[in-house]
Each structure stands twice: as C-alpha cells, then as structure tokens.
C-alpha cells in the first residue's frame, strides 16, 4: 500500500511500531549539521557532501563511507568524540510536529525506539524535545551493525515479541528505510528525506497521522 498523506487517505495496520528518533520524532538537524560541518572541515571534506550521507547511520559508519581508506579504529575514536559533542549540543532540538500527540496515542500500545544514537544522546535529545522515552528502546550499545543493516529493527521486534511482518517502522532517512526493508518490515516515511525512498506511506510530519487501537489487537494508522 502506498499513501501520500497530503493527497490521499489511507490505512496501514500493524501489531507493533518501531520508531526512529532523529528526523522522525525529534528535529535535531541543527545540532547534527553543526557537529558534522566541524568534523568535515577538520578532515578537508565538503560539508555539503558530508551532510548528504550522515542521516540515519551511526557516526563511525558515516565516516567509513566518507573516508573508506581510514582505519576503522580511527572512525570509532572519532565517533566517541562526535557522540559527546552531539549530546552536549541540544540547541534547536525540538519535537517533530505532532510527535507529542503521537507518542501519547501509542503510550499503551506495543512500540519501541530504534535509534542510531547511544543512550546518552537519545536521553539528551528526547529530553530537549520534551518527549517521553518509550519503555523499550534499541540504541547503538545494543547492536553490532549500523543502519542500513536491519539488526536494530529485528532486535526491536523480537524484544517486543512480534514477527517482522507484524511491525511498521517510522523513518526519515535512506539508511533507515533500507534497514527496515531489509528486516522485512513496512515503512512510514516522515519528512522530505523519506519521500524519495517511496515508503509504504509518507507524511510530511506526524500531524498527518491518526492512531486507532482495534479490537483485534492491531494498530490502525490512518493518514490524511
């Protein structure tokens, strides 16, 4: 099923929801861009080209794409520095429109946060955006591979106790949507970056979504 929320009304049903954080629940673009522009300048890279690939991946994975000949140990070291910088920089971090109401609507329904951030960064950004942290979350500490690898979403589904085909993922980035598809899950794309990936449904933000708990135990996602 494909839906563009601005022009059609459509429905997806699921038994569990898996939620990316940055770009999906939280607008952290200002912080991300400040930190990555600095890193790009320090390494003689074009910041605009760097910003095209940073979204969705863990930092070390982005660095490996941009500097493929560099030892991975250096990427991991730089990633630790980057995470500390991003955790300290919450200026301009705000909720995606509709995120507070969306999280309230699904509070008692099966859902999990699946983010490339670590625990400290996810705490900092959800707090800065004044959003409640889902009881179940998968962070960088819980996986061995970054998106677009499906490990995080598969772990989120199994932790909640659902099969991949029973889950719908909310994502904004190419890497995240590729990860969800590799996990065998349907995808709701959020925001402009997601549109080009032809997700199963697309919304400009979370105000274009209504959640309904069905008597069957399923979750209906209605787009308008």
Catalytically annotated residues:
20, 22
d(CA 113, CA 183): 15
d(CA 34, CA 47): 10
The secondary structure of 136-161 as a DSSP string is SEE-GGG-SS-TTSTHHHHHHHHHHT
DSSP strands (E only) in the chain? 3-4, 10-14, 16-19, 26-27, 94-95, 111-114, 137-138, 167-171, 186-190, 201-203, 209-213, 219-223
- The answer to whether residues 193 and 173 touch, using CB atoms and an 8 Å cutoff, is yes
* Count of all residues that appear for the chain in the document: 224
Listed in sequence order, the residues at least 6 apart from 29 whose beta carbon sits closer than 8 Å to its beta carbon are 23
What would the two tokens of residue 202 be?
Answer: 């697309």
């Amino acid at each position: 099923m494909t839906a563009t929320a601005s022009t059609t009304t459509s429905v997806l049903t699921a038994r569990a929801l898996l939620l990316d954080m940055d770009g999906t629940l939280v607008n952290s673009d200002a912080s991300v861009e400040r930190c990555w522009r600095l890193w790009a300048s320090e390494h003689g890279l074009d910041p605009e080209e760097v910003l095209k690939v940073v979204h969705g991946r863990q930092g070390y994975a982005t660095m490996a794409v941009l500097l493929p000949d560099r030892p991975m140990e250096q990427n991991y070291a730089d990633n630790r520095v980057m995470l500390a910088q991003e955790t300290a920089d919450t200026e301009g971090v705000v909720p995606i429109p509709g995120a507070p109401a969306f999280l309230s609507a699904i509070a008692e329904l099966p859902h999990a946060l699946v983010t490339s951030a670590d625990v400290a960064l996810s705490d900092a950004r959800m707090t800065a955006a004044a959003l409640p942290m889902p009881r179940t979350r998968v962070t960088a500490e819980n996986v061995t591979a970054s998106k677009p690898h499906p490990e995080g979403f598969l772990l989120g589904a199994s932790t909640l106790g659902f099969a991949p085909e029973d889950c719908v993922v909310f994502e904004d980035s190419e890497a995240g949507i590729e990860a969800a598809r590799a996990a065998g899950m349907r995808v709701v794309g959020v925001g402009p970056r997601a549109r080009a990936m032809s997700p199963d449904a697309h919304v400009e933000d979370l105000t274009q979504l209504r959640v309904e708990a069905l008597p069957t135990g399923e979750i209906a996602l209605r787009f308008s």
